[in-house]
Amino acid sequence: MRPLLSTDDLSALPQDLPDWTLEDGGKAISRHLKFADFKQAFAFMTRVAAEADRMDHHPEWSNVYNTVSIRLTTHDSGGLTKSDIKLARLIDQAASGV
């Protein structure tokens, strides 16, 4: 089981990950992205999926046409861990590359 983020880590999240929103009392983060069309949204999800699988840390997400909604939490730890932050940064990088 991965250790949960500290209160200080959670307090720094809005500055470290400004495009993400804390949810469930700090147990998860979410982000919603819009792309030009379905093809770009799906290409983004494909890039993220390959990296998330390598990390063995998988997002909760959905796709409707050009919108991708993502929620990150570490289920077996019961909240946010460094794995979620690492994946959020990877998602931010993938989103900026579109």
**For residue range 30-46, what is the model confidence (pLDDT) as tens digits?**
999 999 999 999 999 99
Confidence band for 9, pLDDT divided at 50, 70 and 90: very high
**For residue range 56-72, what is the model confidence (pLDDT) as tens digits?**
999 999 999 999 999 99
Average pLDDT, the chain: 95
pTM, 2 dp: 0.94
Domain boundaries, the chain: 7-95
Model pLDDT, residue 97: 78
pLDDT at 98 over 80: no
- Do the beta carbons of residue 94 and residue 21 sit within 8 Å? no
Residue of 40, 70, 36 lying closest to 52 (CA atoms):
70
CATH code for the part of the protein at 7-95: 3.30.1360.20
